[in-house]
Amino acid sequence: MYSRSIRMKARVFAGAFGLCLMASTAGQALDRLDFAVSGGSKALQKDLRAASILLAAQKSGKTEAQDLFADARAEYASLLDALYARGHYSAVIHIFVDGVEAAGIAPLDAPSAISVVKVVVDPGPAFTFSRAKVAPLAGGSDIPKGFAVGKPAESGVVLEAVTAGVNGWRAQGHAKAAVATQNLTADHAKQALSAEVTLNPGPRLRFGSLTIKGAERMREARVRAIAGLPEGAVFRPRDLERAASRLRRTGVFKSVTLTEDDFITRPDLLGITATLVEEKRRRYTFGAQIGSNDGLSLNAAWLHRNLFGGGERLTLSGDITNIAVQSGGADFNLGIKLDRPATLTPDTTASFAVTYGKMNEADYDADLFSATVSLAHVFSDSLSGKAGLSYDYAAITDPLGQSTYRALSLPISLTWDRRDSKTDATRNIYAEAEVKPFLGFGITDSGVRLKADLRGYKALGENRSFVLAGRVQAGAVFGASLLGTPRDYLFYSGGGGTVRGQPYQSLGVSVLRSAVGTQFQTGGKTFVGGSVEARVKMTDSIGLVGFVDVGRVDANSFFSDFGGWHAGAGLGVRYATAVGPIRLDLAAPVGGNTGDGMQVYVGLGQSF
């Protein structure tokens, strides 16, 4: 016979799902905890052990009798949820505390000492759906395929189906869509579950006014401009999510919450309240990275998050790289950048940046200056783009003497980032491409510089503890001669960003001759590089990495007679932290003639 509610044969009495006041007398340590599951799949047994509050308490070293007794009473509900999630609705659960069923012990009679706890679970048969219906549905609702007659009657699938039905209506503007009625009936004789849910779509609504709370230092007009909530337009959850994301991207707020009003404003408006918590106005950051051939790199930045009260970000940055590098000398860079969000569109940020740098490379010294005006636009959560106008100046000293390069450029870039983590990705891809046409003045030729970076990640194994990661980099300069191209536009290979195990920027091309007729090295007009890593997670904190890097630089076209290649390989250790893994890599040359010996690299985050 059908029952009116889902029943369980376990002795789950009133009080099994609540906590009551218990005696505070400290009890002695638990001697033994037995956990037995009779039947069921291995996956179900694993889920039950994972859901067990008592096993978790044992692992954490909890020994107080009153705590163990409370956990034993709560164990029924926790295990029952896990059983329902796998479609088992006729389970029998016993939890014995020193031989007595825990559900039968009154809270005020809690034992002062517990020696043995025994958990026995008989999952019973797995149920299937005899009826699976959620109605009415909006067009395009994505109901899970598992919610169908004959499929395993897992409670999570029912919840997914109902959520999908409600979200389908909300996506079409029915913000107040909700469950009207639900009828869940388990037939224990037939081992079947009948699930029938009726939805109430409610009226189609439009965005009402935006109420702002917590914006103490930012002007409300700018909050509205940045949020870009389309007041008066048909309600769409994605528009609400985008508004919250835009506010978070400014970095001004510690938390951003957009909530819908409980009531509808006549005739069909739904008001939204933005609750904001502002961050501190200023932030300081410091960083360091070291490589035995690349030298020590130090960087620091000072950030003002809300300079004029409109979300403007002022960043002052400086870095010193290649300190004690084996070839060349230390490089210095100073920069100032001002960002203004919500310029032209809510998803567009305008920036003005000025940088000055001094480079002491193995084959040239340079004083560099650049001024850039740019617009960055966020197209979606994974796709963004940037376009700018830049003036670049470089005073170069090399074996040819002193040269001055000046160019006006138009850098345009796109970034597609689908990674699950920016510092320790395990799946999906990252792709970045830049095209930079430049107009040269004086001795500088005109041309175009192209650059691309593609990365992919694939996790393997049941626990996703093994990750294969690959990277391909490429760059080229077209239209300008090697001598007429600014030195900092040319490409080198070697070091932590390209080929580990090889000295920093050790691979270039030697086709130009000095005034006395000797050849000297410069960067090349084309570059291609690749990296492969195998990352193995040994524990929650420790990981091991094996890697191979390869790079090639050519004077003009790819893979010409005027170029060369090199490669490096090694092993690394990763230590997980809250801000990303600490990286230690040991690498050595395995191809080419640009270096020898072991190289050491230390940094934060995976190498790519």
Q: What is the CA 8 to chain-centroid distance, rounded? A: 41
Tens digits of residue pLDDT in 425-481: 999 999 999 999 999 999 999 999 999 999 999 999 878 899 999 999 999 999 999
We report the CATH number of the domain holding residue 170 as 3.10.20
Residue 10 has pLDDT above 60, yes or no: no
List for the chain the helix, strand, coil content (%; round to 5). Answer: 15, 45, 40
Same domain, 258 and 147: no
Q: Is residue 254 part of a domain?
A: yes
We report the CATH number of the domain holding residue 537 as 2.40.160.50
Compute the average pLDDT of residues 376-383. Answer: 96
Q: Is residue 216 part of a domain?
A: yes
Compute the average pLDDT of residues 344-354. Answer: 97
SS3 245: helix
Same domain, 436 and 335: yes
Indicate the pTM of the whole model: 0.80
Compute the average pLDDT of residues 51-63. Answer: 90
Q: Which residues contact 186 (CB under 8 A, 6 or more apart)?
A: 2, 3, 6, 7, 89, 90, 127, 192, 193, 194
Same domain, 419 and 539: yes
Q: Is residue 21 part of a domain?
A: no
Q: Compute the mean pLDDT over every residue in the chain, rounded to the nearest whole number.
A: 90
Q: What percent of the chain has pLDDT over 70?
A: 94
What was the pLDDT predicted at 357? 93
Q: Which of the four pLDDT bands, split at 50, 70 and 90, describes residue 26?
A: very low
Residue 89 has pLDDT above 90, yes or no: yes
Burial of 366 per CB tally in 10 Å (0-12, 13-18, 19+): buried
We report the CATH number of the domain holding residue 211 as 3.10.20.310
Same domain, 390 and 508: yes
Same domain, 300 and 373: yes
For 212, the domain range is 206-278
Burial of 539 per CB tally in 10 Å (0-12, 13-18, 19+): exposed
Domain boundary among 122, 147, 168: 122
Domain boundary among 225, 246, 278: 278
Same domain, 293 and 272: no
Cα 603–Cα 607–Cα 608 angle in degrees, nearest 5: 140
Tens digits of residue pLDDT in 191-247: 999 999 999 999 999 999 999 999 999 999 999 999 999 999 999 999 999 999 999
Q: Which of the four pLDDT bands, split at 50, 70 and 90, describes residue 97?
A: very high
Residue that has been written with the tokens 């050849």 in this structure: 519
Same domain, 474 and 550: yes
What was the pLDDT predicted at 327? 62
Q: Is residue 164 part of a domain?
A: yes
Q: Is residue 22 part of a domain?
A: no
Q: Is residue 567 part of a domain?
A: yes
Residue 6 has pLDDT above 60, yes or no: no
Residue that has been written with the tokens 């659960």 in this structure: 93
What was the pLDDT predicted at 8? 35
Tens digits of residue pLDDT in 496-534: 899 999 988 899 999 988 877 888 899 999 999 999 999
Compute the average pLDDT of residues 103-120. Answer: 91
| Best CA proximity match to 361, nearest among 332, 401, 391, 318 | 332
Same domain, 356 and 274: no
Q: Is residue 14 part of a domain?
A: no
Instruction: Supply 1's token pair.
Output: 């016979």
- Residue at 143: amino acid letter: I
Q: Which of the four pLDDT bands, split at 50, 70 and 90, describes residue 305?
A: very high
Domain boundary among 105, 122, 139: 122
What was the pLDDT predicted at 514? 81
Residue 27 has pLDDT above 60, yes or no: no
Q: Is residue 505 part of a domain?
A: yes
* Extended strands (E) in 461-505: 466-478
Burial of 108 per CB tally in 10 Å (0-12, 13-18, 19+): exposed
Q: What are phi and psi of 579, to 5 degrees?
A: -105, 10
Same domain, 456 and 499: yes
Residue 77 has pLDDT above 50, yes or no: yes
What was the pLDDT predicted at 325? 67
Q: Which of 99-113, 141-155, 165-179 has the lowest mean pLDDT?
A: 99-113
Compute the average pLDDT of residues 133-148. Answer: 94
Q: Which of the four pLDDT bands, split at 50, 70 and 90, describes residue 288?
A: confident
Q: What is the bridge-based pairing of β-strands 269-278 and 206-213?
A: parallel
Same domain, 330 and 258: no
Q: How far apart are CA 226 and CA 245, in angstroms?
A: 10
Same domain, 448 and 344: yes
Same domain, 173 and 38: no
Instruction: Between 284 and 552, name the one with better pLDDT.
Output: 552
Q: How many domains does the chain have?
A: 4
